[in-house]
Structure 1
Amino acid sequence: MRVRWRIKLTNEPARTLSKHRANIDRDSNQFCFPIQMTSIFFSESSKNIGGQELQLLEQAVGLKAKGYTPYILCRPGSRISQEAYKLGLNVEFVAFRNAIHPPSVLRLANLVRLHKPVAVVCHSSHDANLCSITVHALAKIGLLKPRPTLIRMRTYQPGPAKAFTYNQMFDQTFTPSQALKDQLLQNSGVLPEKIGVLYPGIDFESIAAAAALGLPPELDARLSDLQQRPVIAHAAMFRVEKGHSFMLQVVKALLPQFPNLLYVAAGEGETRQAIETEAQRLGLGKHVVLPGMLNPVAPLIKRADVLVMPSSYEPLGMSQIEALGLGVPVVVSNVGGLPETVKSGVTGYVCPAPHAPGALDAWVQALGAVLAEPHKARDMAALGRQTVLAQFGKQSNIDGLVGTIQTPRLGRS
C-alpha cells in the first residue's frame, strides 16, 4: 500500500535540521517540521507610562509565551523601556519625534529589514504613522516581502476619524470598547471590517499578588494612619480629560461629611503640577496626596475604600477593572466604554461626566453612599469582580491578537 505524506508545521522553536530532524507522526502520516520563531514589533512613542503602555507590555509577554520574539520600539529614556527591561523584553530605540520624522523612518527601515517582523502593533499616533509609512514604502519598492501585518491599537479618537488612516494605512484597527468602535464608524467612509473590538486582557492573578506588595514609605505611612480615612484612589495619567481638577471639587464638597478624607491620585503627566497648585489654593493640601507613578498600583487600590474614574473622555479605562478584580468599590463617569465595565447601582456607580449638568452633586452623592455604607459597596464590588473576570480574561486578548496575525491578509505576498 502506498503511504502519502504531508507536511505539518508546528510551533516548536526552530533548530537546524542537523540537530532536529523532522518528526514523523505515524498515526496521521505527516512530517512535523518546526516553524522558525517569528519576531513582532510593538511600538509606543509616549515617554510616560499608563494603562495603554502597560497593556502593550502584557501583550508582548503573552506573545513571547506563545513562541514569538517581541521587540519594544520606543523613545530613549521612556518609562516603558525601563519596564520592558524588567520583563526581559527586547528593546529598540526610535526617536518618534513627530509623525513624519525622517531619521525615525530610516531607523525603522533598518529594524524592519533586520528583524523581519511578522506584524507591527502600534499603540500611539506618532509611532503608528511612522511605522505604517516605513512598512508600506519598503514593500512598494520591493525591499520587504512578505509585508508584515500592520495593526493599530486605537485607544482614543480626539477628532473625526479619517477613512484613509483606517482603510489604507493599517490592515486592522482594534478599539478597547464598542463605544469607541461606534465613534470611529460615525464616519461612513470607514470600512466596518477594518475595525474590531479587542477588550484588554488583564492578569488578575498577578494583580492580586501585586496588591500584597509594599508602597513607598511615606505613602504607606499616610495610608496606615487610621485618622486619615476614608481613602479615595485615582490611578490615571495626569491629563485634562482624566478629571483630577473635578475630583478636587468633589473632595472639597465631601469634607463636611468626611472631614478626614484622603484623596490619593497616582500617576504622571502634563497637568500634575497644576493639580498640586490647585489643591493648595483650595486648602486641600492635607487631604490630597500625589505620589507619582506607582508600578504596580494594585497595593494602593487594594487599600482604598473606593476607586474613581471621573474622566470626561475614556474609551474604556483600566483602573476600574483592576479595582473590581480586587473587590474594591468603583465610581466612574458615564462616558465612552466605562459603562461597559460597570453596571450602575449593581456593580458600582456610573455618574455624569465632569462637565455635564448636575455632575458635582451626582458624584458627591454616589461617593457619599459608598463611603457611608462600605459593606454594601463591597458586596457590589464582589459582584463586579465576577463580571470583569469573565469579560477581561488575559488569554482572550492574546488569542484575538494572535488570530489576527495568523490570518492570511488579502494581497500579502
Structure 2
Amino acid sequence: MKILYTESSPNIGGQELQALAQMAAMQRAGHSVMLACRENSRIAAEAVRQQTAVTYIPFRNSLHFSSVWRLRRLVLAFRPDMVVCHSGHDSNTVALTRATLTGGAGRFSIVRQKTYLTRKMKVFSLNHFCDAVAVPGQAMKEALQAAGCTNTIRVVSPGFDFDAIREAMSMPLPEHVREWLEARAPHPVIVQIGMLRPEKGLEFMLKTLFHLKREGGQFHWLIVGGGRPEEERLLRRKIHALGM
C-alpha cells in the first residue's frame, strides 16, 4: 500500500512524533510511505533521519492554491491509496486536491488523525472533508460524537518505542540544562513538557507556581519544548515580571 502523511506544523510535538512512529512502522511492514510537510520543519529533519521520503508543501492555510497545486502533482506522481492528515490546514488542502482529480488518481482515502481536542470543537471538516477519523482513545471518540461528528471514528491506540525511551534515559542531559541545574540549590525540579503555545497551559502553570512559591515552596521549573520565538519571548517576559 502507498501511504502519504501530511503535516503543516513547522514544529514538533506529540502528533508529529506519533506520525514519525507510524511512518517507521508502516515502512517496516513493507508499505511505501511518503511525508508531505513544510520545508525546514522539525518533522522533515526527523523523517529524513529515519529514511522516510519527504516532499515539501507550504501548507500556509486551508485555501493556499500553491499548496493544492503542488500536492496535486505529488498525488499524480505517487498515487497514494491513503492520505493521513494531522491538522485542519493539511486536511482541507488534501480534500481540495482530491476534488480537482478525476479517475483513479482521486480515489484515495483521507484519514484525519486527532491527537487532542480544543475547547471549541469544529466538526464540519471532519464530517465532509475526510473519510474517517482516527483518535487515540475512547473518551476522545465520545467527545467528538457528542460535538456532532457523524463520520466514522476509529480508536487507534498510540504505540511506544520503549527501547528508544530506555536508551534516551541513559543519555546525559544537554549541557546547558546540566549547567543550569548545577548553578542552583538542590531543590525539587518540576518539569513541564509541551510546545510553547497558549493552549498548553504554561501561563496557568506559571500563576500556580508563583502562588506556591509565595507560600514558601522551594523548587525549580524546567520547561521542555519549542515553538514560535514570539511565544517564547512573551513567556519569558511573564516569568521575569513575576520574579520566577
Aligned to 2:105: 144
Q: Does 1:96 align with 2:95?
A: no
1:225: Cα distance to partner? Answer: 5.6
User: Equivalents in 1 of 2:42, 2:122: separation in Å?
Assistant: 29
Aligned to 1:176: 136
User: Equivalents in 2 of 1:187, 1:233: separation in Å?
Assistant: 33
The one-letter code of the counterpart of 1:211 is: M
- Count of matched residue positions in the alignment of Structure 1 and Structure 2: 240
User: Equivalents in 2 of 1:108, 1:228: separation in Å?
Assistant: 53
C-alpha contact 1:50 1:236 (8 A) present in aligned 2: yes
1:269: Cα distance to partner? Answer: 2.1
Which of the residues 126, 134, 139 maps onto 2:89?
126
- How much identity, in percent, do the aligned residues show? 35
Aligned to 1:161: 122
User: Equivalents in 1 of 2:46, 2:24: separation in Å?
Assistant: 12
Aligned to 2:226: 268
| Superposition map of 1:305-344 within 5 A | none
C-alpha contact 1:132 1:169 (8 A) present in aligned 2: yes
C-alpha contact 2:137 2:157 (8 A) present in aligned 1: yes
The one-letter code of the counterpart of 1:43 is: T
The one-letter code of the counterpart of 1:174 is: A
Task: Provide runs of 4+ in structure 1 moved above 6 Å.
Answer: none
1:224: Cα distance to partner? Answer: 4.4
C-alpha contact 2:141 2:155 (8 A) present in aligned 1: yes
Which of the residues 140, 150, 162 maps onto 1:191?
150
Structure 2: stretches of 5+ with no match in the other structure: none
Closer/same/farther in 2, CA of residues 166 and 251 from structure 1, 3 Å limit: closer
Aligned to 1:221: 179
Aligned to 1:230: 188
User: Equivalents in 1 of 2:197, 2:88: separation in Å?
Assistant: 17
Aligned to 2:72: 109
More helix by share: 2
User: Equivalents in 2 of 1:143, 1:105: separation in Å?
Assistant: 18
Which of the residues 186, 192, 200 maps onto 1:242?
200
Aligned to 1:251: 209
Please give the secondary structure, in 2, of the residue aligned with 1:111. helix
C-alpha contact 1:161 1:184 (8 A) present in aligned 2: no
C-alpha contact 2:91 2:129 (8 A) present in aligned 1: no
User: Equivalents in 1 of 2:121, 2:199: separation in Å?
Assistant: 17
Please give the secondary structure, in 2, of the residue aligned with 1:185. helix
User: Equivalents in 2 of 1:282, 1:207: separation in Å?
Assistant: 35
Aligned to 1:387: none
- Greater length-normalized contact order (CA 8 Å, ≥ 6 residues apart): 2
C-alpha contact 2:62 2:93 (8 A) present in aligned 1: yes
User: Equivalents in 2 of 1:175, 1:129: separation in Å?
Assistant: 18
Please give the secondary structure, in 2, of the residue aligned with 1:232. strand
Aligned to 2:30: 67
1:97: Cα distance to partner? Answer: 1.1
Please give the secondary structure, in 2, of the residue aligned with 1:144. helix
1:228: Cα distance to partner? Answer: 3.2
Structure number with larger C-alpha Rg: 1
1:281: Cα distance to partner? Answer: 0.7
User: Equivalents in 2 of 1:160, 1:232: separation in Å?
Assistant: 31
Please give the secondary structure, in 2, of the residue aligned with 1:166. helix
